[in-house]
Amino acid sequence: MKSVFFVLSLLCASLCVDAQYYNDVYSYYTNGTPVNGVKIKTNLPFTSVSQMPTIMIEGFQYSTGSPINLTLVYNINGTVFNNASVSTSGAANPPVYLAAENGKVVIFIDSKTIYQRLHIRAYATGLSAETAANFTGWTAVDSTLSGSATATLLVPYLNKFAGNVYLPGTGIWNSAGKLGVGTLTPRATVDIGTMVTDTTTLVLARLPEGDYAGIGTCLSAHAYNTVPVNSVSFSLEHKYYGNLNSAINFFRGSSTLGGFMTFSTNNGTERMRIDGSGNVGIGTTTPGTYKLAVEGTIGARRVQVKQTSWADFVFQEDYQLTPLTEVENYINANKHLSGIPSAEEVVKDGIDVGEMNKKLLQKVEELTLYLIEMKKENNDLKKRMDALEHATPQ
């Protein structure tokens, strides 16, 4: 009697297990090309809080030579699909939709590939609709969702990985969230390069302070170098791993304002900066209000400075030349020409090249007029002298 009871218990346990795992729910294949896709009509009722199935869809997408390996989960809350997602471990990942048609759940796979094969299995237990009868009698048709379908949802893909994820070609996305390409020991958030001692490495990094990111090259050395950053917005010291060589650095401002960029070479020395106003400083970290500020010598073959006016007004008939005696008095009192900045002003404020050329031309044109006037006076004087020399004695 005990033996019979034991056998019945095992049989019951076996039936219970079979009732929650459905190994062969439906198989689909086509030797043609679907016009619309694959709509799978299930026997699961679209009823709130009635099911939380795990549906595995496996197969072969012939046209791309890709395996299909999808895991679909959802539950129904009221009149909507809730907590729905689909994960993949295959290479073919077509859009997957859930909807309700005629009171039943339908799964639409938006895939129109020739010779497609699909197999469906499922796991479900514990809720009212998760019975064996609802996992039989499924069908599939080449059709889109009907116009009367409700609760239509494009199911989002969701894949998460724990631990270290190794990539082809010596790459890793490690458990600390760092991505290494060409290295299994990334030293920054994104580290691209070869990790042979003293070879060049490309590093993309966002430092812990949260207000700096950089793209640069460094040597795979063994110590931190400190690079001071001087700016209006920040007085932090940012650290690079290894001996920094050259980099493009992005500094975050407050909210969407105040950010700036710097360019570094030769052991991380800042050479150029574009500040938050778009002003460029070369050899200086403080371009001020200048669109281009250069601390050093500029070499050029040609420089073109555009002006809105020029000094030819000197040659207008109504232009009044300052008498030379007044010019002399001004020079004696101020030690520079009128209209021309003094040496002190030039040292303090610099000069506007275009405006200064205009002022210098004005002085040259005035000097030309003075010379013309003096020439006329000399000619008149010469004529009078000649007249006196040839005059008949009285």
pLDDT in tens, 141-151: 999 999 999 99
User: Residues 284-292: what's their mean pLDDT?
Assistant: 92
For residue 187, the model assigns a pLDDT of 82
Average per-residue pLDDT for the chain: 83
**What single string gives the DSSP state of each residue in 271-311?**
EEEE-TTS-EEES-S--TT-SEEESS----S------S--G
CB 283 within 8 A of CB 294: yes
Judged by phi (left if over 0) then psi (alpha if -120 to 50, else beta), residue 23 lies in alpha
Determine the average pLDDT of the residues in 237-253.
59
Question: To which residue do tokens 């006037």 refer?
Answer: 373
149 exposed, middle or buried (CB, 10 Å; 0-12, 13-18, 19+)?
Answer: middle
Which pLDDT score is estimated for 226? Answer: 37
Q: For 169-184, how does the pLDDT look when each residue is reduced to its tens digit (9 = 90+)?
A: 889 999 999 998 888 9
Provide the pLDDT confidence category of residue 19 given band limits of 50, 70 and 90. Answer: low
Pairing of strands 260-265, 269-274: antiparallel
Both tokens of 122, joined, read: 């499922």
pLDDT for res 212:
52
Check residue 110 and report its DSSP letter: -
Query: Mean per-residue pLDDT for 322-327?
Result: 92
All structural domains of the chain:
16-154 (2.60.40.1680), 196-294 (no CATH), 311-387 (no CATH)
Tokens at 243, concatenated: 């001996």
CA 203, 207, 211: angle at the middle one, nearest 5? Answer: 120
Give the burial class of 73: count Cβ atoms within 10 A of its Cβ; 0-12 exposed, 13-18 middle, 19 or more buried: middle
